[in-house]
């Protein structure tokens, strides 16, 4: 059985996005060859990428025309987009899920031979947290306090007990934290 893993980069004060969608200048604060290696390792161990609609649309727009090793993974890996409003998913190797998202993701975990990653996708992630489907949380923290934006973990989520797997300081001053869900 594969693991369902959340991967996000946030600011030190907990924002994963700016006040507008795709307002992510803090990503540049942690991006370097070290982070690129980390991302390539993750992508190499991935069977599916899972996105909510907003993240899917932004990722598709960017990666369809990008070049390089990460772009090759992003464009070729199978992708699941969870949306009640989209009518099609035209990014290469994309499958649209409109109903029973939690059940479908749970089934996918049982069938996959590699890990499944959710990038961004705060609304979808909230659903998956509530359904207790995440096995691991990987959070990159950018060394900045922005004081505004959209929190990755909104108020009102149920308690989740986590166990630290590892912490990896980055040359940029950021850090990657890996937590295992204790009650998954």
Contact 44, 12 (CB under 8 A): no
Structure tokens at 2: 């594969």
Is the pLDDT confidence value at 184 over 70? no
- Using CA atoms, how far apart are residues 155 and 158, in angstroms rounded to an integer? 9
Tell me how far CA of residue 66 lies from CA of 27, 71, 92, 97, 121, in angstroms. Answer: 17, 6, 13, 25, 21
Q: Name 136's bridge partners.
A: 5, 180
What's the pTM?
0.94
pLDDT digits (tens, 9 = 90+) for 38-77: 999 999 999 999 999 999 999 999 999 999 999 999 999 9
Q: Could you tell me which CATH number the domain at 4-172 has?
A: 3.40.430.10
Structure tokens at 134: 């995440």
Contact 11, 144 (CB under 8 A): yes
Contact 146, 173 (CB under 8 A): no
pLDDT digits (tens, 9 = 90+) for 72-104: 999 999 999 999 999 999 999 999 999 999 999
What percent of the chain is predicted at pLDDT more than 90? 92
Question: Could you tell me the pLDDT band of residue 166, with boundaries at 50, 70 and 90?
Answer: very high
Question: Could you tell me the pLDDT band of residue 154, with boundaries at 50, 70 and 90?
Answer: confident
């Amino acid at each position: 059985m594969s693991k369902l893993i959340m991967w996000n980069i946030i600011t030190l004060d907990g924002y994963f996005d700016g006040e507008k969608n795709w307002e992510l200048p803090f990503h540049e604060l942690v991006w370097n060859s070290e982070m690129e290696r980390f991302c390539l390792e993750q992508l190499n161990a991935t069977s599916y990428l899972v996105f909510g609609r907003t993240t899917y649309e932004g990722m598709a727009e960017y990666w369809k025309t990008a070049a390089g090793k990460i772009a090759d993974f992003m464009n070729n890996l199978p992708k699941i987009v969870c949306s009640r409003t989209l009518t099609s998913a035209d990014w290469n190797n994309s499958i649209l899920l409109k109903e029973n998202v939690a059940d479908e993701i749970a089934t996918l975990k049982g069938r996959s031979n590699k890990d499944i990653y959710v990038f961004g996708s705060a609304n979808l992630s909230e659903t998956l947290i509530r359904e207790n489907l995440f096995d691991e949380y990987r959070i990159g923290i950018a060394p900045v306090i922005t004081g505004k934006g959209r929190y990755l973990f909104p108020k009102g989520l149920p308690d989740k007990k986590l166990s630290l797997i590892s912490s990896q300081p980055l040359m940029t001053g950021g850090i990657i934290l890996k937590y295992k869900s204790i009650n998954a």
